[in-house]
Amino acid sequence: MIIRILGEGQFRLDDMHIKDLNKIDNRIVEHVKNGDKVSYREDLDKLISTVKDLGEPIDPVDIVQSDIIFPPEDLSFEEAKQVFSGTGIIKD
């Protein structure tokens, strides 16, 4: 699976990690819904760092379509209300 983190680039990530990322994504949706800014920030950082830690960076010269696009690390809580709603970024 190819994941783009806006402002960071693309990463190739084994599909076996998607379930764990989806759990974090779903928690972020709940944090946003409940107005929990601290937990939102912690889990957004965890979501992005997990992709960076477990994924293999793709050379920016290579043109590869992304399967999932994650927001940048500095996404504000107000902006998150638009991104993390419903089922979140990762669709089951």
CA distance 92 to 7: 25
Tens of pLDDT, residue by residue, the chain (92 residues): 999 999 999 999 999 999 999 999 999 999 999 999 999 999 999 999 999 999 999 999 998 999 999 999 999 999 999 999 888 998 86
CA distance 40 to 49: 14
CA distance 74 to 76: 6
Nearest 5°: the CA angle 83, 87, 90 is 75
pTM: 0.91
Q: Which of 17, 30, 22, 33 is nearest to 70 (CA)?
A: 22
